Structure formats: C-alpha cells, structure tokens
Structure 1
Amino acid sequence: MNTATIFSSLQRISDAYNHKLQSISDAQFQATPAIGGWSYSEVYAHIFDASLLSLQALEDCLNGKGKDKPTAFAVKLILFFGALPPGRYKIPKQLEGRAKVITKKEAQDLIGQFEKQLEAGYKQIPRARDNVKSKHPRLGYLSARQWFRFTEVHLKHHLKQLHRIEKSFAQ
C-alpha cells in the first residue's frame, strides 16, 4: 500500500465528488431517485461523515488508542484489490442515524473538512505502527494505513452509487 498513491487517488476522488456536486441542481440534490434509496444529499452526508470518522479512527491508531488485533484475511483482500465485493450494503447500525438530508452548502463544507483532515492524516502516516488498530463496524480491526486505504475504497464505492442515481434521474 503506497500511501502517496492512495493520497493522490483520494484527492482525485474528492475532486470528482466536488465536480458532481456542482452539476446537480438544488432540488435534484435532495430528491429521492426513481430507483429508490438515498438521494444525492444523503449519499454526500453519509460518505463524508463516514470518511471523517475513518480519518478519526486513523488518528486514534496514530495516538495509540487502538488494540493489537489481527485483520481478517477477507478484509486484507478488499484492501489489496481496492474494492468492496459486488452488491448493496446496509449502513452499519452505529451510523444509521447519521445519514440525513443536507444542503449542497453543507455537502461542500463536509468535503472541505474531509480534505483538510485527509492532508493532516496523510502527513502523520509515516509514524503509524501497523500493530495498533481500531475497530471498523463491519470489517474488524484496521491499522492507520488500512483505514487510509479503506477511505479510498469506500469513497470509490459511493461514487458508483452517485452514477446510479444520475442514471435514474436521466430516465
């Protein structure tokens, strides 16, 4: 896992979310798509809230607030290949109440917070110890480097969701 490559990828993905946000009308941003599921607004609220939480977990690992636990082999495969297995996933119970309808301005602010925290976290990764891990709600224990990679995987996953929503509105 090359953290510089992941950092560059995360910056490009964040730019893609920003670009997409600018192309969506205010009304469409908060509308439920014809295919059902989350609106653009709820996706943005979830993904950047969850990404900020992931960066906090990364920080916890850096500050020694984690545990020395193994990472499951299946999770290592997800991180290696950089993608979640195909399918739709339910939001973990711990995050259920956090996905909400927000405005485009709130989404822009979340992206800005994420980008600021991302840069701060990236600069600290060289001092990370791989045996200090904090718990992900579904994937188990992840080290700081693994949290960094997971953030990329998760953001890419939801970018695909935005494309599905876009197609739904186009029909």
Structure 2
Amino acid sequence: MSVRANFKSLHKLLDYYLAYLKAIHEDDFFAKPEANVWSVSEVYSHVIWVNKTAAIATENCLNRTAHIKTNKPDWRVRLILFFGVFPPGKIKAPEAVAAKVERISLEDAANQIINLKRKLPALEADFKNFDTHYKIKHPRLGYLDAKNWLRFMVVHTKHHVKQL
C-alpha cells in the first residue's frame, strides 16, 4: 500500500472512531464486558496512545533522528504489514503498553482523535524525507522505518475496530 493510501485509510478509520463516539451511550462507553476485558473507553485510550506513539516514531524516522539499520523486518512482520491483519487469536498488549490504558471520557476521546487527525497532513508532507535506513524499535515487531510505522498505525487501528 502506498503512503497516500495508508494515510487515506487511517483518516477513514479515525472518522469511523469519531462517528462511533456519537452513536454510543456514555454508560456503554465505560462498561466492561468482562472482568479482564477493556471497556470501549479503554480501547479508545489504547488506540489513541499507540497512534500518538507511532506517529512520533514515524516523525523521528523521517527527521532522521532514529537508529540507522539496514536489515528488513522479519518475514512474519512483513506479512502482517502486507496483508494488514494480525495473526488469529488474542494478542495481549505488552505490559508497558497496557499500563498506559486508562478510562477517558467521550469528549476527551473525540478531542484526542481530532488532534491526531490534524497532525497527519504535516506527517504526510514529511515523507519527502523518507529513508528506509532510519528505524525505531517496536516492542513486538522489531525495527520499523517510517512507512512500516504508518502501516502499523493502519493495521492496529483497524484491528481494534473489531473490539468496538
């Protein structure tokens, strides 16, 4: 998928998240379906935090303040990014990532998504500086360049639509 297509997909996904906020009742937003399952509020918190972190990683790669690495991601990672889906089964968030999950309000979720969407055009414009050698390590997927981080944002955001 091209950079432009990934940005377009990410915008559509974030628009979906915004529309979902308008359709859900506040009680349902905060309700936990089961004891060890995130509420919709917590899913939003997670998706927003991961996307902000991935956007920073993408920006650092594009600004060439990342590590210089010449190796490609593992073949499994390349398959995930190519097909745009995680392997079947439940994937538990790394402890450091899960620790960032919190309950956020409907308004805060909407504002944070809008702020993220506002940053995307500048990030897209920075792709003129793209160099495959500048990479930042993802907790599970290894070193990713800017295009891979962008693709990860799309795959991850789409993955959590299922939880909603």
Fold in common (TM above 0.5): yes
**TM-score, reference length from structure 2:** 0.93
> Structure 1 vs Structure 2: percent identity of aligned residues?
38
Aligned-pair CA distance for 1:65: 2.0
Which position in structure 2 is the counterpart of 1:125?
127
Q: State how far apart, in whole Å, the 2-side matches of 1:93 and 1:63 are.
A: 29
Aligned-pair CA distance for 1:35: 7.9
**TM-score, reference length from structure 1:** 0.90
Choose the corresponding residue for 1:104, options 103, 106, 123. 106
- 8 Å CA contact 2:86–2:159 kept in 1: the answer is yes
Aligned-pair CA distance for 1:23: 0.7
Q: Write the deviation string for residues 100-137 of structure 1: whole angstroms up to 9, x where unpaired.
A: 11100110111012101222211111211011100101
CA RMSD of aligned residues (A): 1.3
Q: Write the deviation string for residues 123-153 of structure 1: whole angstroms up to 9, x where unpaired.
A: 1112110111001011000000110111000
- 8 Å CA contact 2:63–2:129 kept in 1: the answer is no
Q: State how far apart, in whole Å, the 1-side matches of 2:128 and 2:2 are.
A: 11
SS in 1 for 2:123: helix
Q: State how far apart, in whole Å, the 2-side matches of 1:115 and 1:80 are.
A: 23
Aligned-pair CA distance for 1:95: 1.4
Counterpart residue type for residue 83 of structure 1: V
1:53 aligns with 2:59: no
Higher helix share: 1
- 8 Å CA contact 1:65–1:134 kept in 2: the answer is no
SS in 2 for 1:134: strand
Runs of 4+ in 1 over 2 A off after TM superposition: none
SS in 2 for 1:161: coil
Counterpart residue type for residue 129 of structure 2: R
- Structure 1: 5+ residue runs without aligned partners? 163-171
Q: State how far apart, in whole Å, the 2-side matches of 1:63 and 1:110 are.
A: 24
Which position in structure 2 is the counterpart of 1:165?
none
Which position in structure 1 is the counterpart of 2:6?
6
Aligned-pair CA distance for 1:93: 2.2
